[in-house]
Amino acid sequence: MGDHSFLLQIKNVSKSFSGVTVLNGVSLDIAPGEVHGLMGENGAGKSTLMKIVCGIEQPDEGEIVFKGKPVRFAKPADALNSGISIIHQELNSILDMTVAENLFIGREILRKFGIVNKAEMNRRTRELFRMIDVEIDPNRRLSTMSVAEKQLVEIVKALSYDADVIIMDEPTSAITDQEVLKLFEIIGKIKKQGKSIIYISHKMEEIYTICDRITVLRDGQFIATEPVNRLDKARLISLMVGRELKDLYVKEKAPVGEVFLEVKNFTAKGKFTDVSFHVRKGEVLGIAGLMGAGRTELAEAIFGAAPVDGGELRVKGRTVQIRKPVDAIRLGIGFVTEDRKLLGLDLKSTVKKNMSIVSLRKFLYGKQIINFRRERNAVDGYIVKLNIKTRSRDTLVSLLSGGNQQKVVLAKWLLSEPDILILDEPTRGIDVGAKAEIYKMISGLAKEGKAIIMISSEMPELFGMSDRIIVLHEGKLTGEFQREEFDQEKIMMCATGHVQGGISSRNQAGGNQT
């Protein structure tokens, strides 16, 4: 039936959910030993297509041919056993179990009488991790691990199934550049063994570094499959969004004014030490650093979401005490968290209720009674302003795409009209169209006279949007750069702790790593 030069063929697959067509006659061929990029905006149907390939969803129409034979996977285990493995964007690891237990879940190595052979599982776990040159304690619980580490566990798990096709859904959305390089190295090894990878990512650089061919989906339709070298970035983007996208990073000139927030000698044991910096009205301050550098922890401490052991905070020149988030909110600080599903949104609630929760006090008669009309008007205003794609304000926020969910989180904080806005990875896991809109918004907010702190692991984003960048390494400030001094190499040197750069003398006492 199938063409034997392809390992996996997806033929005219269609799928709809409660009347909404998500995939419409999509076809895709994967050659052995190929890294195949799958691109498209959020909602283009990439994830659904992959769910069909690995048996999580069933297609309404079309067929899948694997190793020359038509297959139909009724459940994920079927796909897994045939040799198709997926690493989900949202990690599915069980946090209360150890690395080894997660790795061997459902296929535990047993002794007689069905007793789990822990020692053997631990040994095999170490062995599997050594394949990618990582030393790991198999007994560590996943709850103690960072997102990056959990992701490594998922990758190793996929490898351990000896899969012929590994689907990676945004595998680098939460890992550092160094870890990305390691991942690419691993991908290279897998490729040499004749195995194929379907690689879903929003990051152009990665796609161009490792993919052999790219398939673009848009609105559930197949748009094109091209070898990478025949597809330049501009055309790829226009294929994805269906229109020409001009400059991604919109950076408007904003007058920089007084110091809005000053952080002095901030210390929290085991997280960060003696960190001092400031951000001015109209300024976008980027915070660079590797995963685990203490950037999120610092932001949480400023916002009162985590305790500090020492240091001082000044808001507009006045020394303040922030013990809990509500204190920060009253002082005009907003905090768009990194993990929107865990910390940013109430997924059981609607767009409207999520957006108004911080600013409810503005929509009240007296102290308690909600003025629904004012709430609706304010919420609708931001749905239009931020171009949030939702059926209505009363739609469950969980039904929105990632980019639109992120806009809801932003809207929630913008509704509170903060002077100081902390953005932690504001464009993580969202598509390029939504990214461009968020960049434009950040720029506009600075112009309106807000002070913005933007934590990001994406260099192009930091470079594109920041007026100034500070760098953290292992909880210490190791560099500070003005816009005209931005230099990827120098910033990476600071982020990895090899050098302190572009920084005034006040932090030199902090510590010398080299």
Partner 1 sequence: MTLSWGQLRNIFFKYGIYAAFLILVVVLALTSPSFLTLQNILNVLRQSSIIGIIAIGMTFVIIKGGIDLSVGSILGFSAVVATSFAHPGEYPVIAPIIMGLLVGVACGLVNGFVIAKWNIAPFIVTLGMLTAARGMTLVYTDGKPIINLSDAYNFIGSGHFLGLPIPVIVFILVILVGVFLLNFTKFGRHVFAVGGNEKAARLSGVNIFAVKLAAYAIAGLTSGMAGILLSSRVMTGSPILGQGYELDAIAAVVIGGTSLTGGRGSMIGTVIGVLIISIMNNGLDLLNVSSYYQQIIKGAIIVLAVLLDRKSNN
Residues forming contacts to partner 1 in the complex (CB under 8 A) are 303, 305, 324-326, 329-330, 335, 337, 342-349, 353, 356-358, 360-361, 364, 367-370, 412
Q: Centre a 10 Å sphere on the Cβ of residue 206 and count the other Cβ atoms it contains.
A: 18
Q: For residue 183, what are the contacts with CB-CB under 8 A and spacing of at least 6?
A: 155, 171, 172, 175
- Are 483 and 466 in contact by the 8 Å Cβ rule? The answer is yes
**CB of 347: closest distance to partner 1 in angstroms?**
7
Contact by Cβ (8 Å): 287, 472: yes
Tokens 């400031």, located at residue: 278
For the bound state, the minimum distance from the C-beta of residue 465 to partner 1, rounded and expressed in Å, comes to 23
| Rounded CA separation 93/171 (Å) | 14
- Longest Cα–Cα distance in the chain: 74
Q: Rounded to an integer, what distance in angstroms lies between the CA atom of residue 272 and that of residue 472?
A: 9
Work out how close the CB of 513 gets to partner 1 at its nearest, in angstroms, rounded to a whole number.
33
* Cα(493)–Cα(108) distance, integer angstroms: 43
Residue among 447, 442, 373 at smallest CA distance from 414? 442
Minimal CA–CA distance to 213: which of 442, 30, 55?
30
Residue 148 near residue 174 (C-beta atoms within 8 A): yes
Q: Length of the chain, please?
A: 514
Q: Which is nearer to partner 1, 134 or 360 (CB)?
A: 360
Measured in degrees and rounded to the nearest 5, phi and psi for residue 142 equal -65, -25
Q: What are phi and psi of 421, to 5 degrees?
A: -125, 120
- C-alpha closest to that of 454 among 338, 345, 342: 338
Smallest distance from partner 1 to CB 271, Å: 17
Question: What is the rounded distance in angstroms from the CA atom of residue 173 to the CA atom of residue 183?
Answer: 12
Helix (H, G, I), strand (E, B) or coil at 23: strand
CA separation for the pair 80, 341 (Å, rounded): 27
How far apart are alpha carbons 400 and 243 in whole angstroms? 22
Distance, CA of 390 to CA of 383 (rounded, Å)? 8
- Give the residue with the Cβ less far from partner 1, 222 or 363: 363
Written as six digits, the tokens of 497 are: 């702790």
Minimum CB separation from partner 1 for residue 501, in Å?
33
